[in-house]
Structure 1
């Protein structure tokens, strides 16, 4: 009798975990059951509840078609949206909780199509069979939270393993994005990937090209912002997926880093990423992580073999910034992300001109001005970029950067460095020079800003005197 009692205890414990994942789901389940329809909590919320992880998503699945779902929640939900209804999904809000209900379905890609063909089904088990991985193919029937696990997802959770419910070739053929999702879950959950899944990824990597850039971007961002991004990125490279998604990354693998002759730039970049993550204060920073990962992608194009067996990568930061902008644009990242990441890549070597603290105050001001709102991220990236095993050298670099930050703080306190504006504004420039609004005011403003960077605060009277001298030299009456 012990085994049945253990099963009852386990089912009760699972039900208790799942019940906390969706406070309003049971009431909705009763509503569907009364109308003769099935409803089940499914996928990520079930997985995360069993892992005791918090989740914002509440995903439900049903045998009711979308039109019937709309009828059943009419007057019950506080708000309804139908953005995904062509794929069988209806969204709703109830008592502050957001839920998505999707009709049982199977979907697959035509070899030349970027969008799935959707066919509705009538079986929960068959709906689970079409899902990406067994850990996401578990469900809880509502009401009552009856646990459904036809493909051994619970065992995989315990073992930390990613398997597909059926043959991985069939799963990836249905939706090639699932190959990228395998890498994403390896990053987020720290799970290993079953050998047959990895083999299928290697064989079918090229199929990822039929998936839209936006979907690839979203998965890549989740991977990079995961708890274990190294594992996910390594799987991308080892499987060949990176050659289609982020081809600059595997190209780093064979390039020798000038600071570490026995470690390639690929490995260096992963270490820099990990060291940047260690400095995060408020959760994952996508911009910082992408900059850390991509900061050296210009090295393969700039590699030169020098006398004495040396290897140089002159201006790789400038080339890398252009490559970063091009790649992130192709992946449809927002303009602000593209701009910020590529700017950090461009600036990541600037500190190394600081030497042993020889920069003038003017040079420090320019460093701050060029970094702008990215200054704190640039601090973190620069510190992360030190991966030398030479403790003495690492300590010297740390002390030198500490000194630079102290100087920035002192100048900021003395001169309101963050504001970084000329001492005369546009109206004052017009008054001093006796000119009207136009391009000339902008030229004068730039002159005064450079003056401020070079000389610091000199007072309005001296600034006006310098402005008149500049105008005379420019032939401006």
Structure 2
């Protein structure tokens, strides 16, 4: 008897259409993998569905398109024997059931046609090998050769076959295991975890783009620290983010220690993840202290210091993004900016002056709220009194930001007097003097010497021009 709960997983009319198309071609067809897993876990409605055909997945996709209203376009990837189409907001990927064999130098397998069982054998984890039949005679039947249902119930990540072979064949699966454990809050089964440790160096054959895709998914999880702790535990982290590994450990000199900046960083990432879904702000939290390893020094009077770690860390962000082939655009510049400014609000919190707040708003610009969110996430003290005090101080800074911005309009600052007006007033051609006057006006506004208004700025311009020996062009 078919379990009705799995029939209910196939209520979308698209599944009956696929079933009819497969019947027309005399093929078996199954929905497999993430859709089945997430349905059983009640993770919400999936927007992408994997279909396996025992035969040609490309032909099945084309037949499905023929049966659908509007005959949606089929994208064919002959190299991989796959095809894709979109219908009703759902992305369907079709593949023929296959066997795979691997060489040591590549994660790209040699492929030959196979049965459903062959296809399930090649899957990365038992929970991703679950399949639901789309065939008329047993529509909705669950095919679970590796007891993936039990692993779902017990929150376990396990490979269908020998984990050493699974991870050595395709080392990306090691990152996927950790990513699924992070996203689903599952445990990686002990033999599988040990196999990841043994095969960690194999990650070197995986492209940087694939690695970053998995890192991004870990960072976007509810508790990202789980993933990065597992990367550390399995020995994968040194191959991917050695800058983080360098933060681990506590040194002691003359009885003085410092906090473990690696575990502190993971706490900060978890804290910020409660406040924002912004991937790049989460990256900023992950990298905010990377400059501390190269700048760590011991001073007999001051103890352990990390002078200029924000500046050094911001430069390291560029190198890290470049090495991992991450975007070297405004996303990278945003992360750099957050790392560079990450201590500014902390220094402000003890002495919240108008001029310091104006400078913070000016330098942070439209990202001042992101910066404050990062700095609040950076509070990881376990002392309740200190925790309350630090948050109260940051609230004072936030209040002051609102007050100063309403009055002085410094965010996204534009000088009240333009360079063209300075040139016209003093009959100047493009020259160093124009920059000097513009900078002087900006500094006067930030220091509160003059308001951020045209008349005050013009008067200051005339005064500054006279000081450096310029005459007004009458």
CA distance in 2, matches of 1:257, 1:44: 48
Helix, strand or coil at the partner of 1:401: helix
CA distance in 1, matches of 2:275, 2:205: 37
1:121–1:127: 8 Å Cα contact kept in structure 2?
A: no
CA distance in 2, matches of 1:154, 1:468: 79
Are residues 439 and 215 of structure 1, via their aligned partners in 2, closer, same or farther at CA, if it must alter by over 3 Å? farther
Match of 1:13 in 2: 5
User: Structure 2-normalised TM-score?
Assistant: 0.89
Helix, strand or coil at the partner of 1:86: coil
Gaps of 5+ in 1: 1-7
Match of 1:341 in 2: 335
Kindly state the Cα deviation for residue 342 of structure 1 after the two structures are TM-superposed: 2.0
CA distance in 2, matches of 1:120, 1:425: 69
**In the alignment, structure 1 residue 86 sits paired with structure 2 residue 79:** yes
Helix, strand or coil at the partner of 2:5: helix
Are residues 236 and 69 of structure 1, via their aligned partners in 2, closer, same or farther at CA, if it must alter by over 3 Å? same
CA distance in 2, matches of 1:109, 1:227: 35
Match of 1:177 in 2: 172
2:132 aligned residue (137, 140, 147): 140
CA distance in 1, matches of 2:252, 2:364: 25
2:99–2:114: 8 Å Cα contact kept in structure 1?
A: no
**In the alignment, structure 1 residue 375 sits paired with structure 2 residue 365:** no
Are residues 423 and 42 of structure 1, via their aligned partners in 2, closer, same or farther at CA, if it must alter by over 3 Å? same
Kindly state the Cα deviation for residue 257 of structure 1 after the two structures are TM-superposed: 10
2:293 aligned residue (288, 300, 317): 300
**In the alignment, structure 1 residue 350 sits paired with structure 2 residue 344:** yes
Gaps of 5+ in 2: none
User: Structure 1-normalised TM-score?
Assistant: 0.89
**In the alignment, structure 1 residue 156 sits paired with structure 2 residue 147:** no
Helix, strand or coil at the partner of 1:80: coil
Q: Select between 65-74 and 129-138 the one with higher mean Cα deviation.
A: 65-74
CA distance in 2, matches of 1:380, 1:256: 29
CA RMSD, Structure 1 to Structure 2 (Å): 2.6
**In the alignment, structure 1 residue 25 sits paired with structure 2 residue 15:** yes
Are residues 110 and 122 of structure 1, via their aligned partners in 2, closer, same or farther at CA, if it must alter by over 3 Å? closer
Match of 1:186 in 2: 181
How many residues matched?
461
2:33 aligned residue (36, 43, 62): 43
Match of 1:238 in 2: 233
Match of 1:4 in 2: none
Are residues 454 and 28 of structure 1, via their aligned partners in 2, closer, same or farther at CA, if it must alter by over 3 Å? same
Kindly state the Cα deviation for residue 457 of structure 1 after the two structures are TM-superposed: 2.2
Helix, strand or coil at the partner of 1:116: coil
Match of 2:55 in 1: 64
Are residues 345 and 458 of structure 1, via their aligned partners in 2, closer, same or farther at CA, if it must alter by over 3 Å? closer
Q: Select between 178-187 and 222-231 the one with higher mean Cα deviation.
A: 222-231
Are residues 94 and 440 of structure 1, via their aligned partners in 2, closer, same or farther at CA, if it must alter by over 3 Å? farther
Question: Residues 227-271 of structure 1, C-alpha deviation per residue, up to 9 Å, x if partnerless?
Answer: 23222111100000011111222222214599x958521221111
Q: Mapping of 1:283-432 within 5 angstroms?
A: 284-307=277-300, 310-334=303-327, 335-359=329-353, 361-432=354-425
Question: Residues 124-144 of structure 1, C-alpha deviation per residue, up to 9 Å, x if partnerless?
Answer: 111111111000011111142
1:467 aligned residue (458, 461, 469): 461
CA distance in 2, matches of 1:136, 1:31: 24
Helix, strand or coil at the partner of 1:93: strand
